[in-house]
Structure 1
Amino acid sequence: MAGANTLNFSDSAWDTEVLNSDKPVLVDFWAEWCGPCRMIAPTVDAVADEYNGKLKVGKLNVDDNGGTAMRYNVRGIPTLLLFKGGQIVEQRVGAVSKSDLVKMLEPHVS
């Protein structure tokens, strides 16, 4: 359930892939059974394509990677967290429009 430029994050590779990334990282916390998660998936994939090279975009399945979801206190999905320098700089909960997602990203992407 990911586009060509959308990564799949896991608990085991979290620090390497997300926290130590030299680029900002947008993480979509989702689950297979979540309707709103499926609704925003094409938007997340489109952003991954448009910002390829400037931003890492990936999904983390909360059912398979509960440790990371608990670490960031993710209680509702979809939750979108934007990391920069290993820190959360933006957060959205729920299905957001592409324009809202772009507004969230633009200040942090060079």
Structure 2
Amino acid sequence: MIDNEFLEKEIIIKKRPALVAFTADWCRPCGLQKTVILSLAEKYRDEFIVETINAEVESSLSEKYDARTLPTTVVFSQGEVVETLPGFQSEEYLESYIKFILEKLQAEEDSKP
């Protein structure tokens, strides 16, 4: 689980690709989403930040990233929000976003002189 400081430093400033799920302990679908997030975090730990944020503790972030429905997953690339996905998202669907962003970043890197 990450906080505002980590998000700002590691994702926004360093522009690391990330997938962050806003969750709450009382939210049943959030428990399912956390399982998906843990699996993806393990799979992509060296190339992509995959984490959760407690929406109640970090309410200012919930507001900033428009996480009105829980869970809400926010996808970042190059320090910018690429997509905001309200509700539970399957592992396959989120993994497709991760792969898409990694491929795009690799293509950008390959095109540099």
The ranges of structure 1 where at least 4 consecutive aligned residues each deviate by more than 6 angstroms after the TM superposition are: none
Q: Which runs of 5+ in 2 are unaligned?
A: 104-113
Higher share in helix: 2
Q: Which runs of 5+ in 1 are unaligned?
A: 1-7
Cross-structure match for 2:63: 70
| Number of residue-to-residue matches in the alignment | 103
The structural deviation recorded for 1:21 is 3.1
Aligned counterpart for 1:86 among listed residues 53, 76, 79: 79
Query: Higher RCO, 1 or 2 (CA under 8 Å, sep at least 6)?
Result: 1
CA distance in 2, matches of 1:94, 1:103: 17
Cross-structure match for 2:12: 19
SS of 1:58's equivalent? strand
CA RMSD of aligned residues (A): 1.4
Which of the pair has more CA radius of gyration? 2
- Please tell me whether residue 95 in structure 1 is matched to residue 105 in structure 2: no
CA contact (8 A) 1:90 1:104 kept: no
SS of 1:68's equivalent? helix
The structural deviation recorded for 1:63 is 0.7
CA contact (8 A) 1:30 1:37 kept: yes
CA distance in 1, matches of 2:36, 2:66: 24
The structural deviation recorded for 1:22 is 4.2
Aligned counterpart for 1:29 among listed residues 22, 34, 39: 22
CA distance in 2, matches of 1:51, 1:98: 12
Higher share in strand: 1
CA contact (8 A) 1:27 1:59 kept: yes
Q: TM-score, normalised by structure 1?
A: 0.85
1:35-74 to structure 2, matched below 5 A, reads 35-74=28-67
Percent identity, please: 24
Cross-structure match for 2:3: 10
CA contact (8 A) 2:22 2:53 kept: yes
